[in-house]
A = this chain, B = another copy of it.
C-alpha cells in the first residue's frame, strides 16, 4: 500500500502521467467482457463486486490527492466517500464489507462517469509541475497506480469466483487451448548456508517502487537447502489424491484436517469430476484438466499436506527470495492468459535452473506474515494497510498469471489466510539437505 518517503525521488515525474493513464485504461479493458449484472454481485464476503473495485480505486485518487491538493475540487458525490472507502479507518466511516453486493445504486454507468470525472482532474493535477506539493502528489499517485494494479488482480479472481456460481457455464474470455501436455522433470536446485540479505533496499538509488512491508533490507541466516525447479503439476497433485492424500490425517495440519471435514473438501477448489474425468473452472469456463499445468487454487493446508506427502516442505520466504535473486523484469509473462502455463525449459531466468518463479502461481511459503526487523509503516492514513494484517496470514511469493506484469517484483510479499483458495495459488517444494 505504501512506500517509504525517501523513495519519492525515485519516481520519474515525466513518466507518471503515462503510467496513470495506462493503469486506468487497463481496468477498463478488464471490464469489457462483463455485463452490469456480472459487475454487481459479491459471491462471498472475501470478494468484492467488480463495480466496487472500479469505484474504490478511483476513490483512492480522489480522497488522497484531489480532495487534499486540488484547490476547489468538489467530490462528484459525497456518498461515494462512505461507499468506497475500504479499511482506511482514518479516512472515515465505512460501508459494511459483506453488503457491497447490495449497492445497486450508483449503477455501473454512474461509476464509469465517476472514473472519467476523477481522471479529468487527476490529469490536470499531474500535469501541474509547479504545484507546491508536486512531489507529494507524485508520490501518492504512484501508490495509487500500484493500488489499482492490486485491485486489477482481485477483480479477476473475484469475478472468477462470482461467475463460477452460475449454473450455466459462464465464460469471462475464451482461451486458446494449451497444446503442451508435458512439463519438464522436477529437479532440485542447491543453495548454500550463510548470511544473506533480503527485502527492498530503500536507500539504493535505482531501487524502484515497493510497498512498506517489503523493507527494510536486512540480514538473515540460512541453512543449506534445495528448491524444486518448477511448481507442482496437476498430474503430481492427482497422484497425491489417488494415494489417499485427503483421507490420511498424518499428512495434515490439525487445522487443515478440520477444514477438510468441515468443508467436505476432497479436491482443489474449482475442480469437478464428471463421468470419471476431471474438469476445472477457468476464466474461459469449464475445461478438461490439463495434467501438465501447475496445480492452482490450492490453500495453505493442501500445500503443506502435499509437501509432506512428497517428502519435502514449503520454502520460507527468505529462501524463496534468495533463490529468485537473478530474476529480471523481462522474464515476466504477459497478462492476458488468465491461467498458469505449463512449465518450459526456455522459460527460466538467466543463470538459474528455476522455472516459473514469476507470474504463474502465487507460491505458498512456510512464513507467517510478520514485520521485517526495523519495519515501520508509512505515516498517515495510507500507511494503514500492510501492518494491520501481520497476524495469522502466510506469505506468498512470485505473482500469478493475473498479476499485472509491472506489479511483480521479487521482494513483493503477498499474504492470505490459510484457508483461501480463490486466488491463483500453487506449490513449489523445498527440502533440507
Contacts and interface: CB of A to CB of B under 8 A. Distances in A.
A338 B37 CA distance: 26
A313 B390 CA distance: 13
A290 interface: no
A103 B165 contact: yes
Interface stretch (A22-30, A118-126, A133-141, A252-260): A252-260
Number of copies: 4
Given A95-B167, A218-B223, A253-B390, A41 B102 contact: yes
Interface string A301-321: 100100000000100000000
Interface stretch (A79-87, A173-181, A203-211, A266-274): A79-87
Given A390-B253, A392-B255, A168 B79 contact: yes
A396 interface: no
Interface string A212-228: 00000011110100000
A411 interface: no
Interface stretch (A55-63, A145-153, A365-373): A365-373
A99 B164 CA distance: 12
B250 A89 contact: yes
A10 interface: no
A432 B370 contact: no
Interface stretch (A67-75, A104-112, A350-358, A397-405): A104-112
Contact of A392 (B40, B195, B392): B392
Contact of A107 (B37, B41, B104, B255): B37
Given A89-B249, A373-B432, A170 B104 contact: yes
Nearest to A390: B253
A166 B170 CA distance: 28
Contact of A105 (B95, B107, B168): B168
12 contacts: A35-B105, A35-B107, A37-B39, A79-B167, A89-B249, A104-B162, A104-B163, A219-B223, A223-B374, A253-B388, A304-B391, A391-B418
Given A37-B40, A255-B389, A367-B370, 18 more contacts: A36-B37, A37-B39, A37-B107, A41-B41, A41-B104, A79-B167, A89-B250, A95-B167, A102-B166, A105-B166, A195-B221, A219-B223, A221-B221, A254-B389, A255-B391, A301-B391, A366-B371, A368-B370
Interface of A: 35-41, 43, 51, 79, 82-83, 87, 89-90, 95, 99, 101-108, 162-163, 165-168, 170, 195, 218-221, 223, 249-250, 252-256, 300-301, 304, 313, 366-368, 370-371, 373-374, 384, 388-392, 418, 432
